Amino acid sequence: MNPFKVPVTEYTDHYDLARYSLAWRVSMFMSIVLSILAVMLMSLNQDVFYPTLVGVAAVIGFLLVLYRTRKYGFVAIIFCLLGTVLCQFTLIYFTEEFHMVDVMWILIITLYTFFMLGRSWGVLVLTLNTLGIFYYVFACLNLNLSSIGTLEFGHIVGLAINFLVCSTLIGFLILQFLKVIRKAENDLRTLNDELKSQNAMVAVQNQEKTVMLREIHHRVKNNLQVITSLLRLQSDEIEDDESKTKFNETIDRVRSIAHIHERMYLSENLSKIDLEGYIDSLAEDLIHSYQVKKSITLEVDCELNHVHPKSLVSIALIFNELISNSLKHAFPQIDVPAINIQIKFQGDETVSINYRDNGMWKKRSKKSFGMELIESLTEQLNGTFEIEKKNGTHFNFQFDRAGIMEDQ
């Protein structure tokens, strides 16, 4: 039976498994080697036999704990703290011993701590051992050097075995570091390859979705244009001027929606539309539709560049009604008609839309359908508005920013 074979454990993470394996193999190796070393030191009647015996008992206890509980973290903490205490005790109180091997044991304990418990514990153990070495150098080194006599053959053999054990452990720990690092590099390389593959797949899927969405917007725009053409043909059969006007207003509303899909189809980013550019284009279409012969000054100052797609149609219809009403009712007696639109942020939560023309809308005995539509659409967007008719007509809308803005 191989004593260094690691018992089956529930650990699936590579790093946990590596630490558990290291704790088991180091404890097994040290239990065998320290037992041999303790017997030899006892036969040589050396006082360092006692801390070595404590070490044997400790590593046997570690093996039992690892075998029964698989808790390598607890074993590592006791190993590091007890090893530090034994090394410092041997270094300081055994003044007649040759202590070069103790420094190697300190190096083993420090490397083991960094590997098993991480940087914080490693720095702590390194600091404690460094302070102990400084104390030894300044307080005990002269006494130690003056007390060391000629080494007997048994002492030389003990030192040789100690050197061999320490060198083997240091090499084993370094190999474990390199093994884990190599595993991490391979995992990272594999992960990068998987991410590249997934990113390429996502890019292809996004491209396919983009093409599909463009096609959908294009078809919706075409279908709406077909509807407007049918409505226009139908309106040619209407003889009543008032009914025909209402028909044409409906055509303009449908066209304003079709225009959204056209701009989204042509946009580089299908989820965003240039609101200021849309308003300019909508105004030009309406001026052409109403055959306005006067030159109308249109000023648009827009801080809101992108609108949430679900709010686009409602905002487009609101602007369609505002501009249409200005063209129909505000400018007959105005020599230099002007429309001013300001879309500004107010604080962090509100978007203000100010629409103003320099004309005077005709008074109506009852609320028009266009005004009812503006009220309904504003309510759908959880907004409010006020009308002021002084030096022209002024609409002031207040909307919740989160309700109409594109999610960032």
State the average pLDDT over residues 267-292.
73
Q: How far, rounded to the nearest angstrom, does the alpha carbon of residue 341 sit from its chain's CA centroid?
A: 39
User: How far is 241 from 158, CA to CA, in rounded Å?
Assistant: 118
Positive or negative, the CA dihedral 175, 181, 184, 186 is negative
Q: Which domain does 338 fall in, by range?
A: 271-408
Reduced to 3 states (helix: H, G, I; strand: E, B; else coil), residue 330 is helix
Last residue of a domain, one of 131, 149, 167: 149
CATH number of 322's domain: 3.30.565.10
- Confidence class of residue 334 from pLDDT cuts 50, 70 and 90? confident
Cβ-based neighbours of 111, under 8 Å, separated by 6 or more: 170, 173, 174, 177
Per-residue pLDDT of 356-375, as tens digits, reads 888 876 666 566 788 888 88
State the average pLDDT over residues 310-335.
81
Structural domain contains residue 354: yes
Cβ-based neighbours of 191, under 8 Å, separated by 6 or more: none
Structural domain contains residue 198: no
Order of strands across the sheet that contains 338-346: 297-302, 338-346, 350-357, 393-400, 384-389
Last residue of a domain, one of 100, 118, 149: 149
Structural domain contains residue 117: yes
Question: How confident is the model at residue 126, as a pLDDT?
Answer: 92
Reduced to 3 states (helix: H, G, I; strand: E, B; else coil), residue 240 is coil
Structural domain contains residue 155: no
CA-wise closest residue to 290 among 257, 319, 331: 331
H or E element in which residue 299 lies: strand 297-302
Per-residue pLDDT of 151-190, as tens digits, reads 667 667 777 877 887 888 888 888 877 877 787 788 888 8
User: How far is 274 from 281, CA to CA, in rounded Å?
Assistant: 11
Structure token pair of residue 241: 């001027």
Structural domain contains residue 179: no
Reduced to 3 states (helix: H, G, I; strand: E, B; else coil), residue 331 is coil
Structural domain contains residue 187: no
% of the chain exceeding 90 in pLDDT: 6
Residue 407 has pLDDT above 60, yes or no: no
Residue 4 has pLDDT above 70, yes or no: no
Least confident of 76-85, 191-200, 265-274, 397-406: 265-274
The structural domain count of the chain equals 2
Structural domain contains residue 56: yes
Last residue of a domain, one of 134, 149, 164: 149
- Which residue type is seen at 379? E
Q: Which residues pair with 342 in a beta bridge?
A: 301, 354
Structural domain contains residue 223: no
User: How far is 49 from 52, CA to CA, in rounded Å?
Assistant: 5
